Chains A and B, each alone.
Chain A
């Protein structure tokens, strides 16, 4: 492989990440099963975002890879969020 990418995550790291992810999942289910109305969705999405970030950074190695990948990913996700935002804005604004 190329030199910059010699980082090897240990099994332990992976298991650690996995347990965090599972904890977060259970946490979402727990939170959403209590009625918190509007906060529910926000909380669920927030946790999902945290989980996604962890997957991207550790499982998908963005943290250890060259920075371009990270930059690209962030920009692409930002783009998607803006597009969703603009579209939904049209409906909110009607």
Chain B
């Protein structure tokens, strides 16, 4: 390479230096990192709240806090984990950093809108967080804001709701940007059917973001209007119907779970071929299944409302479709497994993360089948079984994939490798802790312990203790993992461009990438996963 002197995106000096340079950047890579660090901060906040909740639940009765505090904690925990961590999650961080490179573009289609998305994200986050300190105290509605409780409580619901609205806007703009990018900026020769799976999952995600988010946006606005102006929409005293609120909320929030998981599945679909040294098995099937998840996932929202008093016919339809939407996920798991067959597997850290993902994702998905079935959901709805289901699949799925992506692309981002041994040890501890926290929750749920309980009956104590202990193990693991990665930016690690011999375009350029990504836009002549 001749142009070795071209500055990479980290060293590059624009009009402004230092922090200001970052805050005014329109470089997708820098924006990706802005997202990453802000997101890690919110994740750490949410996680600390989780740990505090577990401490409170270590025994029946009051341990640390009053009921009001506990209720505010799980609300903020849910809000920040969902809206600030996993919904933007993989898409905003790695979608931003990797998507343009992996399809051979210099940037996203609308770089300035991209920066705007990040600002909206931060503004939304600030509004949500200040709702904790302003008004009549932190909201205590749960992240679902169910009416009419959210209309009656004296706490500061309006700010939290408006914050979520702004966050939704940010999410919409990201989706819009990515879709346009994929339509317009693929490298010459990269037809749709040569686009890497990760890009495809972002494409499917983008559509859900565009078409589902506005519905929750307007719903949250209605809640705000109802509280501020007394416009009756959901309060039965004013003629409204609380169940309609649930319909609208889940019309978004079920598709939203696929916003969380699809890019995560994309990451796994990138990692597995790289480390098995062979093309992904069933490329077309994976694409179809992504689109199918996005599409069918739009029509299953009612499975969150099986006990709400919905009509019998609706329960039938929603349960049926919930089972159908499990099929594309099954197809994905089978294809990942088949990719390993006759490969030449390299047991490196990102690969282990991918395997961890598949394992916990399966448990989460299977428990999804239990709650998707009518007879059983009547029993476990709103119990710890559901809490276990979604931690397994949200934290286990999206969270694992997020860390997998960090371990896979970290060398791309910083041009250095981390200490693999420490990373593996961290993963081991984390994985163990993870299962110790959340598996007991399945048992608690089957025994009938309802969720959002500040206090519980003595017979539930044993498993709660186990779960709390698990949370300490997991923190240890996570701290090891994160410090190991952060240290690898400078201190340790040799400098490399491509530690994994990756097949996709992002590995064909320097690490860290130069500002324009490619010195010359590549011409694509084959599918994405071809090994010599």
A touches B (Cβ under 8 A) = yes
A5 shortest CB reach to chain B, Å: 14
B323 shortest CB reach to chain A, Å: 16
- A55–B299 alpha-carbon span in the complex (Å): 29
Contact between chains at B299 and A86 (CB < 8 Å): yes
**Given A76-B211, A90-B302, A83 and B310 touching (CB < 8 A)?**
no
With CB as the reference atom, state the residue of chain A lying closest to B241. A91
B298 at the interface (CB under 8 A from A): yes
With CB as the reference atom, state the residue of chain B lying closest to A76. B211
A79 at the interface (CB under 8 A from B): yes
Chain A residue numbers with a CB within 8 Å of B298 are 79, 83
* B311: contacting residue among A68, A82, A93, CB under 8 A: A93
* B211: contacting residue among A68, A79, A89, A91, CB under 8 A: A79
Task: Give the size category of A's interface with B.
Answer: 10 to 19
Chain A residues 57 to 94 lying within 8 A of chain B, measured CB to CB, are 68, 76, 79, 82-83, 86-87, 89-94
* B317: contacting residue among A76, A86, A91, A92, CB under 8 A: A86
- A94–B314 alpha-carbon span in the complex (Å): 9
Contact between chains at B299 and A93 (CB < 8 Å): no
Chain B residue numbers with a CB within 8 Å of A83 are 215, 251, 298-299
Contact residues of B: prevailing secondary structure: helix
Contact between chains at A82 and B310 (CB < 8 Å): no
Contact between chains at B251 and A91 (CB < 8 Å): no
0/1 interface trace, chain A 19-42, chain B, CB 8 Å (1 if under): 000000000000000000000000
Contact between chains at B311 and A91 (CB < 8 Å): yes
- A68–B243 alpha-carbon span in the complex (Å): 37
- A92–B312 alpha-carbon span in the complex (Å): 11
- Which positions in B face A, CB cutoff 8 Å? 183, 211, 215, 243-244, 247, 251, 298-299, 302, 310-314, 317
- Which positions in A face B, CB cutoff 8 Å? 68, 76, 79, 82-83, 86-87, 89-94
Instruction: List 8 tightest A-B contacts by C-beta distance, closest first.
Output: A93-B311, A93-B313, A90-B314, A94-B311, A90-B311, A87-B247, A90-B310, A93-B314
Q: List 18 A-B contacts (CB under 8 A).
A: A68-B183, A76-B211, A79-B298, A83-B298, A86-B299, A86-B314, A86-B317, A87-B251, A89-B311, A89-B313, A89-B314, A89-B317, A90-B302, A90-B313, A92-B311, A93-B311, A93-B312, A94-B311
Q: A79-B211, A89-B314 are in contact. List 16 more A-B contacts (CB 8 A).
A: A68-B183, A76-B211, A82-B299, A83-B215, A83-B251, A83-B299, A86-B317, A87-B251, A89-B313, A90-B247, A90-B302, A90-B310, A92-B311, A93-B312, A93-B314, A94-B311
